[in-house]
């Protein structure tokens, strides 16, 4: 849990990493929220990803404030809204009142990551009621086939979101077992069963055994690598999925496309792909890709969201907290930071899937 550990990834030196960490920390508002950039919205999922990055880079106090901000804004039904905007008075108000199940679930990943990194059982205990309510909201949306509807207003499920929610459910069970007390023991078994059902349908869809389960979004690279990133797909099936669409999504020397049919590489997708590669035991390949995409790094240490290589132009002209956050998390797994390796490796998390999806990591 330090910049020195992230530097062991062999991609950036300590001074460069520290500049990035400083810039992400500087984006955090006094109330604890971490917006996309100054003056922009805060969404729960990216907020948690940035908080995890701060923890991994040795800023646990800032991350704790981020988690408390989220817990304080939880809806009565356990959900969060899709994003929040700053008001003139400095108070965050819901700007998009969609209740996204994946956004709601992700606190469990951040809370467990922070517990593993710091051993701070007090914060984990404080966050546990929010995690429990969040997971209860999410599991109300689980369909009979195991997939989870992405919001209460639809029957549609998404492969990317369900992959992420599988990871979140596994982290939630781990939290339940460690800090949940009586209520944790009461829900851990049911949550484990729900997680396994979800993971199995993710693996089936990602292996082309049940492609009809999820809404068709295979133009997007996130649908390609998230079954691996979310800890569901491992072993031969994981390698086959990554190799099968590698040339469709990866532009040599530049990074990963966000959308297969667009000449646009993006930092967030590329950095997350690198974590997925590490999780499959392909650390050297992850380092090469991570090095390739450093063209998105600005002098201040933040990263441009994307680059339209057909036009040789940065687009959009924004440097987001979560792009830098995903870079720091990629460095964390490659450098050996234990908490990041735990939540993205999956081998030590509960609700593991059968052998065909077993972990094959460095």
Q: Domains along the chain? A: 3-357 (1.50.10.10)
Whether 358 has a pLDDT exceeding 50, the answer reads no
Mean pLDDT of the chain: 95
Q: Two tokens at 361?
A: 């990591």
Whether 344 has a pLDDT exceeding 90, the answer reads yes
Q: Two tokens at 61?
A: 């106090």
Model pLDDT, residue 3? 97
Cβ–Cβ < 8 Å for 93, 85: yes
Is residue 47 helix, strand or coil? helix
CA of residue 340 relative to chain centroid, distance: 11
For the segment 307-313, the average pLDDT, to the nearest whole number, is 98
What is the band of 88 on the pLDDT scale with cuts at 50, 70, 90? low
Is residue 261 helix, strand or coil? coil
Q: Which residues pair with 306 in a beta bridge?
A: 266
For the segment 286-312, the average pLDDT, to the nearest whole number, is 98
Residue of 127, 160, 116, 176 lying closest to 332 (CA atoms): 116
What is the band of 361 on the pLDDT scale with cuts at 50, 70, 90? very low
Whether 7 has a pLDDT exceeding 70, the answer reads yes
Scan for tokens 């996204």, then name that residue.
Answer: 100
Model pLDDT, residue 362? 35
CA distances from 191 to 203, 244, 277 (A): 18, 32, 28
Model pLDDT, residue 354? 80
Query: Which long-range CB contacts under 8 A does 281-284 form with residues at least 24 apart?
Result: 281/360, 281/361, 281/362, 282/242, 283/334, 283/362
| 90 vs 29: CA distance, rounded Å | 9
What is the band of 360 on the pLDDT scale with cuts at 50, 70, 90? very low
| 28 vs 19: CA distance, rounded Å | 15
Whether 47 has a pLDDT exceeding 80, the answer reads yes
Task: Give this prediction's pTM.
Answer: 0.96
Whether 90 has a pLDDT exceeding 70, the answer reads no
């Amino acid at each position: 849990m330090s910049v020195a550990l992230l530097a062991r990834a062999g991609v950036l030196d300590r001074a460069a990493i520290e500049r990035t960490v400083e810039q992400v920390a500087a984006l955090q508002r006094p109330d604890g929220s971490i917006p996309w950039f100054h003056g922009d919205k805060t969404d729960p999922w990216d907020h948690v990803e940035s908080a995890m990055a701060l923890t991994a880079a040795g800023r646990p106090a800032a991350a704790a404030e981020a988690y408390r901000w989220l817990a304080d804004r939880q809806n009565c039904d356990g959900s969060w809204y899709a994003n929040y905007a700053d008001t003139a008075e400095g108070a965050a108000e819901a700007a998009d009142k969609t209740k996204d199940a994946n956004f709601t679930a992700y606190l469990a990943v951040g809370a467990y990551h922070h517990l593993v990194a710091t051993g701070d059982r007090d914060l984990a205990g404080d966050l546990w009621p929010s995690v429990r309510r969040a997971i209860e909201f999410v599991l109300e949306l689980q369909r009979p086939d195991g997939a989870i509807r992405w919001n209460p207003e639809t029957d549609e499920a998404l492969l990317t979101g369900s992959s992420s929610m599988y990871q979140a459910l596994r982290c939630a069970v781990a939290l339940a077992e460690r800090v949940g007390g009586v209520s944790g023991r009461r829900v851990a078994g049911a949550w484990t069963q729900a997680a396994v059902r979800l993971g199995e349908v993710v693996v089936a869809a990602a292996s082309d055994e049940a492609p009809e389960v999820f809404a068709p979004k295979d133009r997007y690279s996130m649908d390609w690598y998230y079954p691996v990133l979310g800890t569901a797909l491992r072993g031969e099936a994981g390698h086959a999925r990554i190799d099968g669409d590698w040339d469709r999504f990866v532009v040599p020397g530049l990074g990963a496309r966000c959308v297969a049919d667009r000449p646009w590489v993006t930092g967030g997708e590329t950095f997350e792909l690198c974590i997925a590669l590490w999780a499959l035991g392909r650390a050297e390949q992850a380092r090469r890709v991570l090095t390739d995409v450093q063209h998105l790094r600005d002098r201040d240490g933040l990263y441009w969201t994307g680059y339209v290589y057909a036009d040789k132009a940065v687009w959009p002209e924004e440097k987001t907290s979560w792009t830098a956050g995903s870079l720091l998390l990629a460095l964390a797994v490659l450098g050996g930071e234990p908490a990041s390796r735990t939540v993205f490796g999956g081998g030590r998390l509960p609700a593991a899937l059968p052998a065909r999806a077993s972990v094959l990591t460095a």
